Amino acid sequence: MGREQELARLIAYIKAEYPAHISLLDAKRGDIGSTAAYYAREAYERYAADAVTVNPYLGKESIDPYLPYTEDGKGIVVLCRTSNPDSDWIQQRAEDATPVYQQVASRVAQWNTRGQFMLVTGATYPEELGVVRALVGDMPLLVPGIGAQGGDLAAVLRHGLDRHQTGLLISSSRGIIYAGAGEEFAAASGAAAKDLRDQINVLRNDNKKTSYLSEK
């Protein structure tokens, strides 16, 4: 069995056993419209993913083929300010213009007429995550970079929570996947995921208290 079939079976299992969970395919697709149409079909039809990450570098024509699927409740997650250090050279640097990541955030916010979009905003740049939050309002943000990449969880929540104290999908891939190995893998990775969840909830509660006191 190839890896493609394994992925399809895994997503099918999640949907059958945990129907309330969302399957987000982190494929980072980005190509001209005709090719993007096949990528969209692969993500939403072959794998039955609920959402997929896409690269906006080729413009809106590379995103348009995904839009028809949002009518059935599917989501599109657009790369905005990614967590890797080398992203600076294109996403941030701008001498006489608005940084690219801010332009992406503003444009996607305009397209987000039915709540079908999310943005990828890395935990390693929490202040810039806050800039994105100010530009897009309550749009959900996918936040990689916690764990192996060293993102500051407290800073992410401080800058990134929306007005409802939610709005963040925080990812710690390697911190959970590599928490254990062999027979210990399931227990160790489960414990790592629960520990991160508990940390998030504690910090959210602290942030709620701080917000309440500031309003008073």
Task: Give 33-77 as a 3 state SS string.
Answer: HHHHHHHHHHHHHHCCCCEEEECHHHCHHHCHHHHHHHCCCCEEE
The count of C-alpha atoms lying within 13 angstroms of the C-alpha of 146, restricted to the half-sphere facing its C-beta, is: 23
Residues belonging to the active site: 28
Alpha-carbon gap, residue 120 to 59, rounded angstroms: 16
Grouping H, G, I as helix, E, B as strand and the rest as coil, residue 82 is coil
Alpha-carbon gap, residue 199 to 178, rounded angstroms: 19
The crossing angle, in degrees rounded to 10, of helices 100-111 and 126-136 is 30
